[in-house]
Amino acid sequence: MNVKAFSSSFINKFIYLKRAFGNKPFRLLDIGAGNHSATKAKTVFKNCEYHGVDREKDYNNTGDDFKQMDAFYEMDLTRLDFSSIPNNYFDALLMVHVIEHLYNGDEVIKSLLSKLKSGSYIYIEYPGQKSTRLPSMPGTLNFKDDDTHVRVYSVKELSALLETNGCKVLKGGVRRNIWFMMAMPFKIIKCWVTGKKLQGNIFWDVLGFAEYVWARKN
């Protein structure tokens, strides 16, 4: 595994997918496909069929990123029109730092569950209630640092939603990625050396900014 794949493999969402699928082929629906998400996913999961969804096609993506996608769906999630995405098709769904931007994120999740096959997995990550009490920093440490954040969700709320709609919650809670926590001092030093401002996301795992839910569709 190259350095890029090594670092990407420690991202929380990929850790759970790796446990579920290993190196086996699977179909992935990634809700929020900007920031080179397709390339990152295909670097770790070379045998996955990648379908990306985002409101804007060019949100920090390049031509090379789109070459990694088997399909891309450009849409406003809040409209709840997912007819262009095949039903009962995907083995896994990722929704990472998306629902906090949606006033009706619960309805979006319910609608997207029809896209998953029986026995498939879903990983949701978002700023938790604790993020509303953290200090403000560039790069987002407090929920309100990002003015596109519109709603705070919770593990309890999302777990109940998933359980009510035919899923079994396997794990959930505050995200504490040990690899990110170990890397934190080095990232701080790098900022000091390069003269760049410290970014709030460096402290997410230490301060408990994010929560997650990992579930399986019955």
Residue 29's pLDDT is: 98
Per-residue pLDDT band at 58 (split at 50, 70, 90): confident
Residue 44's pLDDT is: 93
Residue 182's pLDDT is: 92
Alpha helices (runs of H) in the chain, residue ranges in sequence order: 3-8, 12-21, 37-44, 63-67, 105-112, 155-164, 178-194, 204-207
Q: What is the pLDDT of residues 117-165, one digit of tens each?
A: 999 999 999 999 999 999 999 999 999 999 999 999 999 999 999 999 9
Per-residue pLDDT band at 10 (split at 50, 70, 90): low
Residue 7's pLDDT is: 47
| Cα end-to-end distance, the chain, whole Å | 33
User: Average pLDDT of 81-88?
Assistant: 98
Instruction: Name all domains of the chain by residue range, CATH numbers in brackets.
Output: 3-179+207-217 (3.40.50.150)
- What gap in Å lies between CA 167 and CA 117, rounded to an integer? 11
How large a percentage of the chain has pLDDT more than 90?
91
Quote the DSSP letter at residue 136.
Answer: P
Residue 117's pLDDT is: 98
Residue 6's pLDDT is: 37
147 phi and psi angles, rounded to 5 deg:
-75, 0
Residue 56's pLDDT is: 87
Per-residue pLDDT band at 37 (split at 50, 70, 90): very high
Model confidence, pTM: 0.94
The mean of the pLDDT values for the chain is: 93
